[in-house]
Amino acid sequence: MIRPNRTHALRLLIAWAVLSVIGVVIGLQLSLPPGSQSQQSIDQSGLLKLMIILSTPVFVGVVLFILYSVFAFRQKRGALEDGPRSYGNLRLQVAWVAITAVVVLILAGIGISQLNAAANGTNFTSSSAPALATSGDVGTTEGHALQVQVIAQQWYFTYRYADYSGVESLHLMLPVNANVVFHITSTDVLHSFWAYQLGVKADANPGVDNVTYVTTLQTGSFTVRCAELCGIWHGAMSDTSGAVVSQADFATWITQLQKDNLSIPLPPYAPYYFPSPRVKGT
């Protein structure tokens, strides 16, 4: 003879298990940002997938319990009266806190390690990074990552390639299968460099050389936006012409850029550029 509480629990458990599996399966079909154009975006999408796997059962459990209670323990017609007294359940409470703590700590640990990897470039050498090539391709060996400077200005980003005598470009071009080091700075106010599909977002501050890393894996275009409110045209500070291209196309492009840059009086390449004067005129 099964006690009525057991019946409720059993029903809930079965419904929870079935709906959770369905929820996770549906959740994993979603196209999660930022995609798979770089190792960093794959890592970030993976983290979101993990969060779907862990949080869907929690969400389903809470909502199911509330809805089930609303229907199963509803006050029938008749006089209003107090419900049965309920007492705390120590085992349930301990389990509840412990499971929550474990889930949150696992996510925190994974998140911190990924943040750390992104901040220090250690994900360059992770096992899923592109094979270290011995050929002359750009950015494929750890010691020779492609150095790209991102210069923010109200209201446009330009890019300088330190390895190619500091030539400057209107659009961000990167070779595929390359380790890239971004040096991000600003010539005026605070901006933020956000290359959406590459999974890169980092502050662009005047007088600061902010470093972040990306490993490109797929060719294709990407969007660059400013992610820090920086003035009246902040919303227009974007460029959809960024692209990851083949190593050969990159070589052709950078050669042409060097020719085009010959007549431009660029300042020497520096980690950052101080604007002057601080207050213009009177």
Partner 1 sequence: MRLVVLVLTVGIFSGLLALFIGGFVIRVPESLTASPATVAQGSTPAQNAFIHLETVASVDTAITFPRPGDPNPSWVSYLPTTILKVPANSTVTVQIDQEDGASGLRNPFWAQAQGIVGGTFHMTYFDDQGNPQEGDFSSIPDPASAAHTFAIPDLGVFVPLEGISDAAPAGSMNVITFSFKTGKAGVYHWQCFVPCGAGTIYGNGGPMQTLGYMAGFLIVQ
Q: Using CB under 8 A, list all residues that contact partner 1.
A: 30-32, 67, 70, 151, 153-156, 158, 168, 170, 187-189, 231-233, 236, 239, 263-267, 273, 275, 278-282
| Long-range contact set of residues 202-210: C-beta below 8 Å, sequence gap at least 24 | 203/228, 204/150, 204/152, 204/228, 206/272, 206/274, 206/275, 207/272, 207/274, 208/272, 209/183, 209/184, 209/185, 209/271, 209/272, 210/183, 210/184, 210/185
Closest CA to 173 of 252, 105, 269, 74: 252
Supply 230's token pair.
């920086």
Rounded least distance, CB 104 to partner 1, Å: 22
Pick the closer one to partner 1 by CB: 138 or 151.
151
Rounded least distance, CB 222 to partner 1, Å: 16
Distance CA 280, CA 282 (A): 7
Pick the closer one to partner 1 by CB: 88 or 265.
265
Rounded least distance, CB 66 to partner 1, Å: 10
Closest CA to 156 of 175, 165, 169: 169
Pick the closer one to partner 1 by CB: 78 or 143.
78
Rounded least distance, CB 236 to partner 1, Å: 4
Pick the closer one to partner 1 by CB: 92 or 232.
232
Rounded least distance, CB 4 to partner 1, Å: 21
The residues near 275 (Cβ < 8 Å, ≥ 6 apart) are: 187, 188, 206
Pick the closer one to partner 1 by CB: 219 or 261.
261
Distance CA 167, CA 243 (A): 17
Rounded least distance, CB 96 to partner 1, Å: 25
Q: Is 128 exposed, middle or buried (0-12, 13-18, 19+ CB in 10 A)?
A: exposed
Pick the closer one to partner 1 by CB: 129 or 189.
189
